[in-house]
């Protein structure tokens, strides 16, 4: 199609040139020749735009007026100069290189005491890669494969964003990963419900209720449920937690999960009670420090905010929270000094 437009532009250009060279200097002929020249310049600019290398895709829209102006500057010569600009773009495009392969990381080379934080070193880099329109399809699919191993709400959200990717293959892979994870979770829930129904041992049944509560929570945490179903899933988590606590009375993880559930529902008083109960049963302060810091802040108990901020492990803070934690820790240090 663009070849036909190019031919039309060339014909219009030479027609305008022939009219311009007609003897007599007829104003009407000059006006017609200028309009034909302008039409030819604009059409040829569109053809030149379609030939620009894909690496300049983001600049294609803005370059049409410039190429039209260059083409219009002089009959024929302007178009030739415009094509020289396009050819120059091809030459410069070859000089631009992108890293197309993901470096393989051997887990064995990471020391046990190295503070690996997936949200900082894993998901952030992968998100940048997935949003880059110039990254090859194979690399995006490899990034999606890595993301699927990170069980978190943010990783699932990044996979979900690929459903609007311009590449059909990337969209298909993203959809299949979401569908696979949802089916796996639903199958696990169905199996646990069936085992609970068949169980005759109260202790075994309580253990299954605990696992089921955590499985329902994963559906919420990973963002695998619609907003309309979230309330039902939250209720299911609460029901199975209560059943489990009747037999498993000193499991700190149950009270921590209960506190997180109440935090999600913005029931901060109940959340605090659950976290305090977990503390009484021996949970480490570091495991609930971030939640307790948020609750203390909402209670305007700023001295406790500083206390709990100090309990949050340094390597679990991302770049956004690190400076915030530093402010509260310094505040506590100043208070102690006073």
CA distances to 41, 129, 138 from 169, in Å = 38, 16, 9
By CB neighbour count within 10 A (0-12 exposed, 13-18 middle, 19+ buried), where does 49 fall? Answer: buried
How far apart are the C-alpha atoms of 322 and 338, rounded to whole Å? 24
Q: Minimal CA–CA distance to 10: which of 78, 105, 90?
A: 78
Is residue 59 very low, low, confident or very high in pLDDT (cuts 50, 70, 90)? low
pLDDT of residue 96: 56
pLDDT of residue 47: 74
pLDDT of residue 262: 94
Higher pLDDT, 154 or 275: 275
pLDDT of residue 314: 64
pLDDT of residue 338: 45
165: DSSP letter:
-
How far apart are the C-alpha atoms of 278 and 271, rounded to whole Å? 11
Higher pLDDT, 320 or 232: 232
Percentage of the chain beyond pLDDT 90 is: 24
Higher pLDDT, 106 or 147: 147
Per the prediction, the chain carries an average pLDDT of 77
Q: Is the pLDDT of residue 123 over 60?
A: no
Q: What is the pLDDT of residues 17-26, one digit of tens each?
A: 676 666 666 6
Give the position of tokens 């529902």: 265
pLDDT of residue 56: 57
pLDDT of residue 313: 74
How far apart are the C-alpha atoms of 45 and 56, rounded to whole Å? 15
Is residue 117 very low, low, confident or very high in pLDDT (cuts 50, 70, 90)? very low
Question: 114 — alpha (psi -120 to 50), left (phi > 0) or beta?
Answer: beta
Q: Is the pLDDT of residue 277 over 90?
A: yes
Q: Is the pLDDT of residue 319 over 60?
A: no
Q: What is the pLDDT of residues 286-304, one digit of tens each?
A: 899 889 988 998 888 888 8
pLDDT of residue 171: 86
Is residue 182 very low, low, confident or very high in pLDDT (cuts 50, 70, 90)? confident
Is residue 273 very low, low, confident or very high in pLDDT (cuts 50, 70, 90)? very high
Q: What is the pLDDT of residues 207-264, one digit of tens each?
A: 999 999 999 999 888 888 888 889 999 999 999 999 999 998 889 999 999 999 999 9
* DSSP H/E element including 159: helix 153-161
pLDDT of residue 266: 92
Higher pLDDT, 309 or 247: 247
Helical segments of the chain, H only = 2-20, 27-50, 60-73, 77-94, 118, 124-131, 137-147, 153-161, 168-198, 202-221, 227-247, 252-264, 268-280, 285-298, 302-311, 319-337
**Please, which contacts does 325-332 make with residues 24 or more away whose CB atoms are closer than 8 Å?**
328/293, 331/302, 331/306, 332/303, 332/306, 332/307
């Amino acid at each position: 199609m663009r070849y036909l437009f190019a031919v039309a532009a060339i014909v219009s250009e030479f027609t305008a040139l022939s009219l311009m060279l007609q003897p007599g200097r007829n104003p009407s002929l000059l006006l017609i020749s200028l309009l034909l020249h302008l039409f030819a310049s604009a059409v040829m600019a569109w053809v030149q735009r379609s030939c620009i290398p894909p690496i300049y895709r983001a600049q294609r829209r803005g370059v049409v007026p410039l190429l039209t102006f260059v083409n219009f500057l002089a009959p024929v010569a302007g178009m030739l100069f415009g094509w020289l600009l396009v050819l120059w773009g091809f030459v410069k495009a070859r000089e631009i290189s992108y890293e197309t392969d993901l470096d393989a990381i051997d887990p064995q080379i990471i020391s046990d005491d190295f503070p690996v934080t997936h949200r900082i070193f894993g998901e952030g880099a992968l998100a940048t890669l997935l949003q880059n329109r110039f990254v090859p399809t194979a690399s995006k699919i490899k990034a999606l494969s890595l993301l699927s191993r990170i069980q978190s709400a943010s990783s699932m959200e990044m996979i979900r964003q690929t459903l609007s990717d311009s590449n059909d293959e990337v969209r298909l892979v993203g959809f299949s990963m979401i569908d696979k994870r949802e089916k796996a979770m639903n199958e696990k829930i169905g199996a646990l419900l069936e085992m609970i129904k068949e169980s005759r041992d109260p202790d075994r049944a309580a253990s299954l209720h605990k696992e089921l509560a955590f499985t329902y929570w994963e559906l919420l945490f990973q963002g695998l449920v619609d907003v309309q179903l979230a309330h039902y899933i939250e209720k299911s988590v609460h029901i199975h937690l209560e059943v489990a606590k009747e037999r498993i009375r000193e499991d700190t993880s149950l009270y921590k999960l209960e506190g997180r559930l109440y935090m999600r529902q913005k029931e901060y008083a109940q959340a605090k009670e659950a976290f305090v109960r977990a503390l009484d049963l021996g949970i480490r302060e570091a495991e609930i420090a971030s939640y307790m810091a948020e609750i203390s802040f909402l209670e305007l108990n700023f001295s406790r905010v500083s206390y709990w901020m100090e309990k949050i492990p340094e390597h679990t803070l991302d770049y956004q929270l690190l400076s915030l934690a530093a402010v509260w820790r310094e505040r506590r240090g100043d208070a102690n000094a006073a």
